[in-house]
Amino acid sequence: MKKSILFAAASFLFSAFSLNAQSKTWDFSNDTANWPINAGIGNTPMVKDGLGLFPISTNTNFAAITNSSQVSFSDGYVATGNRLQTNGGGAVSTGTYHPTQRYFFIEVSGPVTFKAWYKAGSTGAVRTTFVSNGYATLYGSAATSPAASPADTAILTATIPTAGTFYVYTDAAINFYKMEVSGANVVTTLNSNQLSAIDSSVKVSANIFTNGSDLHIANLSGNTKVNVYTANGALVKTLETKSDVNFGLKTGLYIVNVQTDKGVKSQKVLIK
């Protein structure tokens, strides 16, 4: 079964404040104006300089900026200042690539390339960074290696093929020195409504996918309201259900909004 899944926050469709750019760089090593030394962001998700940060509820040290000695990377990039620490891994929901803690989220309006420079948080340890659409698709991953030169470092390059929100997370503690998104579809501003939608979607278990011309909504856990919108914001389908459901749609791009007592989840789907 071929499943086409495009994940995005609901308010992405309606935001009038997002700006497209050719590229966006988060230079944790040298940009002390946006990324000053700090002990972490606490327990509340936030957007900082266009980069979404989702912490962990049990401590406050995710995204701490600390001093670092000079680190050289295989492509010639040299980090001479600070580093951003995850201080742990981003556990994923069972059977998915959806991180539940200590992750980054970035919104784009079309295909882009993502690149990150990082080092293992423990000397000699093999640590991996992942990039996904937040559900069934892994866009890329790269592991550090103590045998590599320079040791313990890695550079991850991943192609993001579609508009929406993508996620960056690790399997253990990793220190990031720089992240970069390049292409004509970089969205440089996330707003608070988008952040709320992404935050609450973590709590909603519904799986949304397509099979041919049919839209499927599965893994429902109670009373669920479903609204389906066109890319222009027109409501084309609404229903309430307690069990899995599927129905046909015409060819096109849609926003599927699922509301439960645990929160709201929205996802872009493409019917071909």
Looking at the fold, whether 174 and 241 belong to one and the same domain comes out as no
- End-to-end CA, the chain: 14
Per-residue pLDDT averaged across 100-122, rounded? Answer: 91
- Are 84 and 63 a contacting pair, CB within 8 Å? yes
- Residue of higher predicted confidence among 255 and 217: 217
Looking at the fold, whether 148 and 201 belong to one and the same domain comes out as no
CA distance 186 to 182: 7
Note down the domain range covering 181: 18-187
Name the residue with tokens 């027109």. Answer: 234
The CATH number of the domain holding residue 204 is: 2.60.40.10
| b/e 231-261 (16+ beta carbons within 10 angstroms → b) | eeeeeeeeeeeeeeeeeebeeebbbbbbbbe
- Is 119 within the bounds of a domain? yes
pLDDT tens-digit series, residues 165-214? 889 999 999 999 999 999 866 665 555 445 555 555 556 678 888 888 99
Looking at the fold, whether 37 and 135 belong to one and the same domain comes out as yes
User: In Å, what is the CA distance from 191 to each residue of 176, 187, 222, 230, 231?
Assistant: 24, 11, 30, 22, 19
CA distance 129 to 156: 8
- Is 154 within the bounds of a domain? yes
- Are 90 and 101 a contacting pair, CB within 8 Å? yes
The CATH number of the domain holding residue 71 is: 2.60.120
Total domains, the chain: 2
Q: Which of 10-19, 34-43, 105-114 has the lowest mean pLDDT?
A: 10-19
User: In Å, what is the CA distance from 54 to each residue of 10, 156, 176?
Assistant: 18, 20, 15
Q: In whole numbers, what is the pLDDT of the chain averaged over residues?
A: 83
pLDDT tens-digit series, residues 230-256? 876 778 999 999 889 999 999 998 888
